Structure 1
Amino acid sequence: MLTPLTIGLLGILAALTVLMVLAFRGWTILLLAPLAAMVAAAFSGEPLLAHWTQTFMPSAAGFVAQFFPLFLLGALFGKLMDDSGSVDSIADWMTRSLGPQRAVLAVVLAGAMVTYGGVSLFVAFFVIAPMGLALFRAAAIPRRLLPAAVALGTTTFTMSALPGTPAIQNAIPMPFFGTTPFAAPGLGIVASAVMLGFGLWWLTLRVARARAAGEGFGGDDQPPTDEVALRELASTAREFDPAEMERGQRSPGRPPVALALLPLVLVVAVNLAMSQFILPALDFDFLAEPQWGGTGLSGVGGVWSVATALLVAILVLVGTNIHRFPALRDSVDAGATAAVLPVLSVASLVGFGAVVAALPAFEAVREWVLGIGGGPLVSLATATTILAALTGSASGGMMIALQALGGTFMEIAAVTGLDPSLMHRVTVIASGTLDMLPHNGAVVTMLAVCGCTHRESYLDIVMTGVVSALLALIVVIGLGTVFGSF
């Protein structure tokens, strides 16, 4: 006979299955997340409407309240960088600098440069991919390897490891752990080197084998794409709604590369200055008052730093390229609108996680996670990795894990002396490992814009986007366990 605990656990598994299967078929997460939450609550015999309005919605709304500024400014910055011609200018400069003889490196570095500077992943896809196609064709490198090169440069170390990256994934742990975007910078650099080094080694090996077999660039036919399904998948994968890519007007000209790079440099520089020097030097004791939420600088400083950096970069970008925007208002509208669906989609995943975490059966899940051998870092990494894989979203999976377990791990850190900065970096890197399932929005988009299929390219995407990140995660956990955070 099944016990209530067993039935509750089956309900959580059923809810995750509903969420995963239907999301991968292109169903909107805005409906799937509350539906899956109600399935889990029903199995546990919990009040459904109460969980929807009193558990799900406050958690979803809290995520929007906390992180919408970053989604909004990040999407707007990416759209303005694209419409001003700045991303094209950077891509062209990288193409001229490295040329076809270093085509793989050119694609990887171009993608890394723009995404580390704050340009949205999907904006980078639609610019870097055409550049890569031209380079790969000139170098006679198989087209099927291009998605892996794009993935390495845009979805790995610049998202989860490089200190100060403005990616939303790097921002999510900050309020939970009281950290900054530059948490554990030394470990982040080591992890970046592991991801980049392994990814380039793998791609170099694959190019050499293809040439030895006499394989060239390949055909030019593109596979069909289900645009509706792509949009729904993409909205949970990253922070930009791809439906807004074609809105607005792109500049017919391009700024000089130095001018194009300036906003990217400002994002990193202002982020560093705000988080490490300016905000810590100011008095924010008033934040402890009830009217400001009873918080402190550690709870909001990271978000403030990234938001200020993006805002300064946007103002400089517009000011230095005002004559290059054919329709500035349209570009601004498209960029702002591009943030809405992603933030609501991830917020819905957060609401789902809140309902699951509130169920009595989840206590068994919590105990299982904390009982995993290897210490708290391994437990935290395992929980984040599994949830990112099940949701197909690095940000969604990480948010669910932190909402359910973040407080517990902070208590462990206080007792054991574990540095929250180390937990921050482990969590972010773990979120970017198994999130790249075959139907993940980023994967589907990469394949579509590169004109490749899963059969042709997915193995290489796994090696550069998943295996490289897993190796980096293992190295960071090992170094952090022995030496602590640095």
Structure 2
Amino acid sequence: MVAALVFLMFVAYRGFSVILFAPVAALGAVLLTDPSLVPPMFTSLFMDKMVGFVKLYFPVFLLGAVFGKVIELSGFSKSIVSSVIKLVGRERAMLSIVLVCAILTYGGVSLFVVVFAVYPFAAEMFKQGGIPKRLIPGTIALGAFTFTMDSLPGTPQIQNIIPTTFFNTNTWAAPWLGVIGAIFILLAGLAYLNWRRRQAAARGEGYGEGHHNEPELFADEALPHPLIAILPLVLVGVLNRIFTEWIPQAYGTTHEMTLAGATKPIVTDVSKIAAIWAVEGALLVGILTVLVFAFRPVSAKFAEGTRAAVAGSLLASMNTASEYGFGAIIAGLPGFLIIADALRAIPNPLINEAITVTTLAGVTGSASGGMSIALAAMADEFIAAANAAGIPLEVLHRVASMASGGMDTLPHNGAVITLLAVTGLTHRQSYGDIFTITCIKTAAVFVVIAFYYLTGLY
């Protein structure tokens, strides 16, 4: 299992296709465990999980890519970038991108959608500010993959929702710890990124040339008004929240329909996909809003632009789906149980939970997957240890949520691969910055634990 993980990280870092090598790595581990299980594990576990991921999330990837493309073609991205630069100055481009990512993710927009939507803004802003393009992934990662994903209380991201089912808490659990952790991540992350920018400036390094997947240039002089330009983004965030509440009310927890000539009704578990429907509906409205206000410039390049968007969304979704299948096979190996059992030996319940969740998230390459596996196997033990030590379950919730978004961003992580694919960069160019942000994120969990023990506040 460890060999499979190291191999997959190596090939991902070297730039090889994870779609090709994730099953090779996973089935290699199965081969060394029990060769007879290779065919059934591939068909019934790897492919089942991979196809299940595509079934649920490909529309989100596709609509997110199209939304980002029409935002780019309309000139809205350049309008927003120009306005932000006037407002905060060129030297604060990184802060601006981090804040935009944070607003979107805290508003409920999927992390993957944020990557597609924000990249055109970041490329324009970094180009105008003379900041190396290779720093864009680390900047987007800080804004979208860290404090708004699982630290800030109330965030609607799945990493903050999963613990509620195990600890009987809500998304606002341990607000003081969440805010303290978020502040630490934001300040430390910005300090690191600005240090990297100053290093590049001292060497005379600018945005660079010959990059891949560069956003289309917007040649028209008359830019859209910034309030019109930002309207689609605001609508996506607001409508996502509204649809999230409205869809379960309209359809109930389950929905049945019987088609003409069918003998059995088709049952949809709305409770499990309401959030996905909400994002898809909000993105559709966002795309239509862009078309209403900027039909002429978008229509001129719509065919070519959407072809690129569809290709990018296919690559991104299949990369992530392949990782999902890899994690499912790894979680089913005996070696995984050995690691889980070894982690039980850590005495302090909060440190035990933090290390267990972040380790399993790293092994599976998924924050939500690793946390789900860890809590499904060990939540009762965490609760018993916390009750014995007088630790509120809200603290367990916040620690588990924050720990899931730490070491999950190893080189084989689906979100990392998607981020690099969308920005047209490689692991070698930009992964070092993403990994440093990951280390800051992981350290924040232990800062929060120390704060709780020192103050008792949560």
TM-score range, shorter chain: 0.7 to 0.9
Distance 2:30 2:136 in 1: 44
User: Which of 268, 278, 283 pairs up with 2:237?
Assistant: 268
- What residue number does 2:188 align with? 198
User: Which of 263, 273, 292 pairs up with 1:300?
Assistant: 273
User: Which of 49, 63, 73 pairs up with 2:63?
Assistant: 73
Provide structure 1 residue ranges, at least 5 long, that are not aligned to the other structure. 1-11, 228-241
- What residue number does 1:472 align with? 444
**Is contact 1:76-1:332 (8 Å) kept?**
yes
1:183 has 2:171 as partner? yes
Deviations 1:361-395 (A, max 9, x none): 433233234444433x655543453355557xxxx
Alignment of 1:119-158 (within 5 A): 120-121=114-115, 124-125=118-119, 127-135=121-129, 152-153=142-143, 155-158=145-148
User: Which of 316, 328, 339 pairs up with 1:365?
Assistant: 339
Question: What displacement does 1:477 show?
Answer: 5.5
- What residue number does 2:13 align with? 24
User: Which of 290, 293, 314 pairs up with 1:320?
Assistant: 293
- What residue number does 2:261 align with? none
Judge which range, 349-358 or 330-339, deviates more: 330-339
**Is contact 2:247-2:274 (8 Å) kept?**
yes
Secondary structure in 2 matching 1:47? helix
**Is contact 1:159-1:165 (8 Å) kept?**
yes
- What residue number does 1:97 align with? 87
Alignment of 1:197-216 (within 5 A): 197-202=187-192, 216=202
Distance 1:484 1:66 in 2: 41
Alignment of 1:36-435 (within 5 A): 36-45=25-34, 46-100=36-90, 102=92, 105-106=95-96, 108-109=98-99, 112=102, 118=109, 120-121=114-115, 124-125=118-119, 127-135=121-129, 152-153=142-143, 155-161=145-151, 170-171=157-158, 183-184=171-172, 186=175, 189-202=179-192, 216=202, 218-220=204-206, 222=208, 252=220, 254-275=223-244, 277-279=245-247, 281-282=249-250, 284-287=252-255, 295=269, 297=271, 299-325=272-298, 326-375=300-349, 378-379=351-352, 381-386=354-359, 389=362, 396-402=365-371, 404-408=373-377, 423=397, 426-427=400-401, 430-433=404-407, 435=409
> CA separation of 1:480/1:453 partners in 2, compared to 1, >3 Å: closer, same or farther?
same
Provide structure 2 residue ranges, at least 5 long, that are not aligned to the other structure. 258-263
**Is contact 2:115-2:422 (8 Å) kept?**
no
Secondary structure in 2 matching 1:382? helix
Give the AA of the match of 1:359.
L
Deviations 1:420-449 (A, max 9, x none): 997488446632556265996578689987
Structure 1 length normalisation: TM-score? 0.70
Secondary structure in 2 matching 1:338? helix
> CA separation of 1:269/1:485 partners in 2, compared to 1, >3 Å: closer, same or farther?
farther
**Is contact 2:54-2:317 (8 Å) kept?**
yes
Distance 1:71 1:199 in 2: 27
Judge which range, 42-51 or 194-203, deviates more: 194-203
Distance 1:363 1:27 in 2: 29
Distance 1:347 1:145 in 2: 26
Distance 1:127 1:414 in 2: 44
Give the AA of the match of 2:342.
W
Distance 2:360 2:52 in 1: 20
Give the AA of the match of 2:171.
A
Question: What displacement does 1:47 show?
Answer: 1.7
Give the AA of the match of 2:440.
S
> CA separation of 1:318/1:34 partners in 2, compared to 1, >3 Å: closer, same or farther?
same
**Is contact 1:222-1:448 (8 Å) kept?**
no
Give the AA of the match of 1:322.
F
> CA separation of 1:92/1:303 partners in 2, compared to 1, >3 Å: closer, same or farther?
same
Distance 1:424 1:50 in 2: 38
**Is contact 1:165-1:268 (8 Å) kept?**
no
Give the AA of the match of 2:243.
M
CA RMSD of aligned residues (A): 4.7
Give the AA of the match of 1:183.
T
Distance 1:278 1:78 in 2: 25
Distance 2:283 2:88 in 1: 29
**Is contact 1:99-1:135 (8 Å) kept?**
no
Distance 1:282 1:366 in 2: 41
Question: What displacement does 1:157 show?
Answer: 3.2
Secondary structure in 1 matching 2:295? helix
> CA separation of 1:188/1:134 partners in 2, compared to 1, >3 Å: closer, same or farther?
same
**Is contact 1:80-1:335 (8 Å) kept?**
no
How many matched pairs?
432
Identity in percent = 28
Question: What displacement does 1:269 show?
Answer: 1.3
Give the AA of the match of 2:4.
A
Structure 2 length normalisation: TM-score? 0.74
> CA separation of 1:264/1:473 partners in 2, compared to 1, >3 Å: closer, same or farther?
farther
Secondary structure in 1 matching 2:254? helix
